[in-house]
Chain A
């Protein structure tokens, strides 16, 4: 079996990618299912979260969009929130410039389209297993993570309603997700100034602009604040989100 797989570079790369993405499958299994179920509980047809999972492919943004889709039509906010919530992708891209450089064919655009947190966390931290075709390995890790997310969302969206228990309160999965990321980030960082600034500025903007329109001014004020106090906050640079 092993010799068969190593002989074909594609098969070996797919197998190696599957093994390394298994923990992501478990994590996405829960989060994607919750997302599909959450969209269902908001009254959306099952195909809506599946489409969103496929084309947006950014979990936290999809949860936020779910809430925004139940509100007023706000295209500019959707675009700006997308940019700011996913701004961290910029830095994944910077890190993957070199590893992805030798991929020059059709796989390259897909690698860039699908550069999500989980894919970056694998490809950016662990070396490619020995004897494995790097380009196929990168491709399969990206593809598998994408597929896990879409499939688990579909399962939640299509079958979530036939669960034998009440899903009331399921909507807490979004605050729980952000609280978990927030707390996890807090545990890793050495200086809490940017985190506290994000909390405080957003809270002040919420009081000033009200719950419908505070997100955009918050984002602008946060970027402005971070740039204004760059010299002071730079000492805390090097921390990871």
Chain B
């Protein structure tokens, strides 16, 4: 990809983000449609499910390897969140777990 193409993609992502932030202020000043309120409650959890699948779309993160470190680290991440309910701790712990696994336990 050229620098210009990358810049176009970043600009479009930024534009899309700004549209999601501006729309309510430009549109729903008086009354919010009911189906929008409904989507507001059910869309976010569905999107997080989608993004989890997206991360593991190639089976492994690098597209190579057994996938065992990914499965172990993902399980550790979920358990850490269920246990401590601390988002920053979960992200740090899960990442650290994966780094230890690929560097020490399953080196390439």
Q: Which residues of A are in contact with B by a Cβ distance under 8 Å?
A: 26-27, 30-31, 34, 48, 51-52, 55-58, 60-61, 64-65, 68-69, 71-75, 78-94, 97, 100, 112-113, 115, 166-187, 189, 192, 194-203, 206, 211, 214-215, 218-219, 222-223, 226-227, 230, 233-234, 236-241
Q: Does B87 contact A (CB under 8 A)?
A: yes
Report whether B17 and A58 are in contact in the complex, using a CB–CB cutoff of 8 Å: yes
B residues lining the A interface (CB < 8 Å): 1, 5-6, 8-25, 28-29, 32, 35-58, 61, 69-70, 73-74, 77-78, 81-82, 85, 87-88, 90-92, 94-95, 98-103
Q: Which residue of B lies closest to A45 (CB)?
A: B3
Residues of chain B within 8 A of A183, CB atoms compared:
77-78, 81-82, 90
Give min CB distance, B43 to chain A, whole Å.
6
CB distance from A163 to the nearest CB of B (A): 12
Q: Which one of A58, A87, A187 lies within 8 Å of B47 (CB-CB)?
A: A87
Contacts of A89 in B (CB 8 A): 17, 20-21
Contact of B52 among A71, A187, A199, A234 (CB under 8 A): A199
CA distance A174 to B74 in the complex (A): 11
Contact A182 B10 (CB under 8 A): no
Interchain residue pairs with CB less than 8 A apart (24): A34-B95, A58-B17, A61-B17, A72-B1, A75-B12, A81-B13, A83-B19, A87-B39, A93-B22, A94-B36, A97-B24, A115-B21, A168-B103, A173-B91, A175-B70, A176-B90, A182-B48, A183-B90, A184-B90, A194-B45, A198-B48, A200-B49, A214-B57, A215-B50
- Residues in B with CB closer than 8 Å to A189 are 45
Q: Cα distance A113–B14 when bound, in Å?
A: 10
Contacts of B25 in A (CB 8 A): 93, 97, 100, 112
Q: How far is the CB of A117 from chain B (nearest CB, A)?
A: 10
- The smallest C-beta distance from B53 to any residue of chain A, in angstroms, reads 4
Choice from A64, A178, A187, A230 contacting B38 with Cβ under 8 Å:
A230
Beta-carbon contact of A69 and B9 below 8 Å: yes
Bound-complex Cα distance A115 to B5 (A): 27
By the criterion CB–CB under 8 Å, are B16 and A80 in contact? Answer: yes
Closest to A76 in B: B12
Contact across chains for B16 and A88 when beta carbons are under 8 A apart: no
Q: Which of A179, A196, A203, A233 has the most CB of B within 10 A?
A: A179
Given contacts A91-B24, A199-B49, 18 further A-B contacts (CB under 8 A): A48-B6, A61-B13, A78-B16, A84-B47, A86-B20, A88-B47, A168-B102, A178-B51, A187-B82, A187-B85, A194-B45, A198-B47, A198-B48, A198-B50, A202-B54, A227-B35, A237-B42, A241-B44
